[in-house]
Structures are given as C-alpha cells and as structure tokens.
Amino acid sequence: MVSEMRRRRVRPNEFVCSAAISACGKGGRLEDAVDLFSDVRDCCNVVTHCAFISACKSLGAWEEALFAFFELEQAGVEADLIILNAVITACEKGAQWRDALRVLERMHQQQLEPSAVSYCASISACEKGEQWPEALGLISEMRARACELNVVAYSAAISACEKSERWLEALGLWNSMRSVFIAPNVVTYGAVINVQGKSEQWQEALGMFANARLH
C-alpha cells in the first residue's frame, strides 16, 4: 500500500506508515518492517518509531529496537514508558540482560516510574543471562518502590538462582512468594523442584511435585 502511494506520488503520513509497520510486526515479517521503516524515514517521527519498536518487541528483534530507540534519543526525544517497556521486552527476548538493565536505568534518569512489566521483563532477561544477583536486586527494588510483585517476577528470579545453583537464594524467594500468598505456576514449581533435587532435598522435591500435580 505504501509503495502504491509512492508510485501515485501520494505522501504517506505518520499514521499510514505506523499502521503498515504494525501490520508487518503482527504478521511476523521483520524484514518487511525494517525495509518499510527505512523507506519511510522522511516521514518518521515518534509515532512511527513507537510502531517499529513495538513490532520489534513482538518479533524479538532487540538490535533493531535499540537502534530505533537510540535514534529517538539522538533526536532529543524522550521515550515514554510504553516505548521503553517495548525495548526492554525486545532485549529480554534476545537474552540481552545488560541492554535491558540500561534501558531500565534510563527510566530512572527520566524520572519515570517503572511498571511491573518493566521489572518482569528485566528480571526475565537476567534469568536468561543467568545473572542471579541482578535478578535479586530487581526483586528488592520492586519491594522498595512498592511495585506489585507477581508470579512472573518471582518465577524468573527463582529460575535465575536455580540456573546458577544458588539454592538458598532460590528457596528464600520461594518462601517469600508463599508468605505473600502469590500462587506459583508451572515455571515456579519446576525451578524449585530442580533446586531441591540438586541440593539433595529429595523428600521436599517429591512433596513439591505432588503438590504441583494437584494444581
């Protein structure tokens, strides 16, 4: 559609460009989204960049998301919470924990209050990178900022500890989660059972497995 508009010498506006990029993202067509974003740079603005970053988030294209984010910064535009969360999520899908934490820090610099989505995606990025100290630090930060902890945040942090064989820390998170009545999911159970098995707590692991089957 955009190509046809150009052939007819009709200038596509920001909404047409954004809609086309979003359609590429929903259709799983990263190359088309990148090509379109490059082709329409003459009409690109915050709206178009936001659409492109959101498409990259859906497709796990962290490099492209960061590139568009840095372009906004170079233009002197401060990204809002929605854009920053999309960039963090793209980094999380690409297991780029350092970049995810840098973007989270940018929220603090802009005096934006990170949401549960911001923290959960950042903790998941740390889990994929097996960075358990950073994951625990983010859990503590959520508590300090009175940001509502949920099963996604706890499960990712427990998995980060489990992957690094930090059994005491993982079980401490499990106990903390249960103390505030957050119901575990299959990811939580799996990580805790692995922790208990590796730490030779076989009876506890079997009991946990039986409990998981009931849920």
Is residue 157 predicted with pLDDT exceeding 80? yes
pLDDT, residue 109, reads: 93
Instruction: Check: CB of residue 37 under 8 Å from CB of residue 54.
Output: no
**Burial class of residue 212 (count of CB atoms within 10 Å of its CB; 0-12, 13-18, 19+):** middle
79 phi-psi bin (left φ>0, alpha ψ -120 to 50, beta other): beta
Is residue 135 predicted with pLDDT exceeding 90? yes
Cα 187 from Cα 211, distance rounded (Å) = 14
pLDDT, residue 39, reads: 65
Please report, for the chain, the start and end positions of each structural domain, with discontinuous segments joined by +. Answer: 1-81, 113-215
Cα 100 from Cα 129, distance rounded (Å) = 11
Instruction: Check: CB of residue 170 under 8 Å from CB of residue 199.
Output: no
What is the CA 162 to chain-centroid distance, rounded?
20
Encode pLDDT of 187-196 as tens digits.
Answer: 888 887 777 6
Instruction: Check: CB of residue 119 under 8 Å from CB of residue 103.
Output: no
Is residue 42 predicted with pLDDT exceeding 60? no
Mean pLDDT over the full length of the chain: 81
Cα 12 from Cα 101, distance rounded (Å) = 36
113-215: CATH topology is 1.25.40
